Amino acid sequence: MRYSFNRLFLVALLLIGTINHADAQFFRRLFGGEKKPAKKVETPAPVVKKKPATKPKPASVAKKKDPDYPETKMKSVYRVDVFAHLYLDELVRDGKPAYKGKLPEKATAGLDFYEGVKLAADTLDHRGYTMDVYVHDVASPNEAPAALIAANKLDSTDLIIGAVNTTLVPALADFAAKKKINFISALSPSDAGVKNNPYFILLQPALQTHCEWIAQTVASKYKNTTPVLFTRTSVSVDSSAVAYLNFSDGAVKKVLCNALPSKEKLQLLFDSTRKNVIVAAILDASYAENLLSQLHTMFPEYDFEVYGMPSWKGMSALKKADAFPNVAVYITAPYYFDMSTAIGQAVAANYKKDAGGSKPGDMVFRGYETMYWYAYMLYRYGTIFNEKFSDNAAAPFTRFDIKLKKDKNDKVSYQENKHIVLYRYQSSSFIVEQ
C-alpha cells in the first residue's frame, strides 16, 4: 500500500471515494483498496485464562460486576470509524482543490488528525494488522453522526474514534452504548453531559481533572508557602475552575481579577526575597497574558511561579524571551510528543514525505497515537478492552491512565484519561515535567 501526495491535494484524493457512491457517503479504507485475506498479526494473541470453578455466592451477597461488560469478540479483521471536521464540501469543488494557498484554519486540525490516522494505518498495515478504517467528514450533512446512525451505516463498526467538537459527542456516545462498542473522544475535553456510559472514553482530560491535579501538585510542592489565587467572578468557566481547584479556607490568598489588579493591591501579597507562587484560575489566554505582563512590569526584580490553565498552551508570549523573563509559567497538558525519539522522528519523516509538511503539529501525533494504540487494544483483547487499559506500553508517546469516572452516587459516568504532563515555560524555552 502506498500513499504519496501533497497535502493540498489530500482533499481531492479523499473525495474520489464519493464520486460514484450511490448515497454520497465519504470514506476511505486506509488498509488497501481491495479486500485482503487476514494476515498473521505480530502482536501476541490474548491469553484467556479460565478461572477454577467456585461455589456460587448466595444471591444476597453476590456482587454485580461494575460495569457489566459483555463478552469480548475476537476478529481477524476489525472495522474502525473515524470522525473529523474536514470541510471537504468547501475545500473541494468539482473534484479539484478550491484553495491554491493556505488551507482555512478551521480545517487544519481535522486534516492533521486524519494524516496521523493514515500514517498509523500505514505502520499497522506494514506490521500485519488487517483493519477496515473509514474516515467521515462530520462537516458534511450526509456524514454527520446522526445521519449515518439513522441510515444504519455504522452498525458493523467495532470502534469509533472522534476528533469532533462537543456538540457531536452525545450522539456518538449514545450509539456506542447501545451497540456496546467503544467511542474514543480524542479532541473535546468536555463530557457533553454523557452519563452512565462506560463505553465513552474521554481521551482529553476534563478541566476538573486538570484543576484537581494542579491543586494537589501545588499543595505537595509548596508546603511552606501560601499561594496566591487569581480568580474572576465575571466569567462562569473561571468560577468553575476555582470550584474544581477546591482549595480549603486559608490555603490560598485570593485576588479578584475581574479587572487587572493594581500594584498597590498586589504589593501586599508578594515578597522580593523568595519565589512567589500563583495559581491563575483564568481560562482566557489573552487576559492571562496581560496579567503575566503586568507582574513583570510592576515587579521586575521579583521571581514568580505561575500555574495556569490548559488553555494557555497556545499563548504566543510564551515563545518570546523578553515577554516576562522573571515569570516561570506552568501549564498542564495531556500530551507530550517527543520528536527526538525514534518513533517521533519516524512520524515526522513520514509526514514530510506523505503530506509535504516540514513539521507535524500535535494533531498529527494525536491521530497517529490514538489509531495505533486502540488498534493494538482491539487485536490484543478484542472489542471489549475496557478493563485492559493498564496495558499502555504500546502507546507510542503517552502513558494513558484511563479511569472510571463516577458521580456522587458512585455510579459510573464514563471513562477518562487522567494522565497529565506539566510544561514549564520561561524566557521562550520550556521543559516537560512528567
Domain ranges of the chain: 7-33+66-205+338-419, 207-333
- Give dist(CA 185, CA 83) in Å, integer: 10
- Give dist(CA 135, CA 127) in Å, integer: 21
Is CATH 3.40.50.2300 correct for 7-33+66-205+338-419?
A: yes
CA angle 381, 373, 342 (to 5 degrees): 135
- How do residues 372-425 score in pLDDT, each as one tens digit? 999 999 999 999 999 999 999 999 999 999 999 998 888 889 999 999 999 999
Is there a shared CATH topology between the 7-33+66-205+338-419 domain and the 207-333 domain?
yes
- How do residues 226-282 score in pLDDT, each as one tens digit? 999 999 999 999 999 999 999 999 999 999 999 999 999 999 999 999 999 999 999
The pLDDT confidence band at residue 61, using thresholds 50, 70 and 90, is very low
- Look at residue 54 and tell me whether its pLDDT is greater than 90: no
- Its pTM stands at 0.85
Superfamily of domain 207-333: Response regulator (3.40.50.2300)
For residue 52, what pLDDT is reported?
Answer: 43
- Give dist(CA 286, CA 33) in Å, integer: 47
Instruction: Give the residue, 64 or 395, on which the prediction is more confident.
Output: 395
Instruction: Give the residue, 42 or 170, on which the prediction is more confident.
Output: 170
Average pLDDT (175-188) is 97
> Measuring CA to CA, how many Å separate 22 from each of 28, 73, 82, 340, 346?
15, 31, 21, 46, 38
The pLDDT confidence band at residue 36, using thresholds 50, 70 and 90, is very low
State the cell numbers at 329: 509559567
Q: Which residues pair with 278 in a beta bridge?
A: 228, 306
For residue 30, what pLDDT is reported?
Answer: 53
Nearest to 365, CA basis, from 398, 342, 401 = 398
For residue 40, what pLDDT is reported?
Answer: 35
- How do residues 338-384 score in pLDDT, each as one tens digit? 999 999 999 999 999 988 777 899 999 999 999 999 999 999 999 99
For residue 65, what pLDDT is reported?
Answer: 55
- Give dist(CA 323, CA 297) in Å, integer: 10
Q: What is the DSSP string of 176-207?
A: HHHHT-EEEE-S----TT--S-TTEEE-S--H
- Look at residue 326 and tell me whether its pLDDT is greater than 80: yes
For residue 4, what pLDDT is reported?
Answer: 29
- Look at residue 85 and tell me whether its pLDDT is greater than 60: yes
Average pLDDT (216-233) is 96
- Look at residue 148 and tell me whether its pLDDT is greater than 50: yes
Average pLDDT, the chain: 86
- How do residues 65-74 score in pLDDT, each as one tens digit? 578 999 999 9
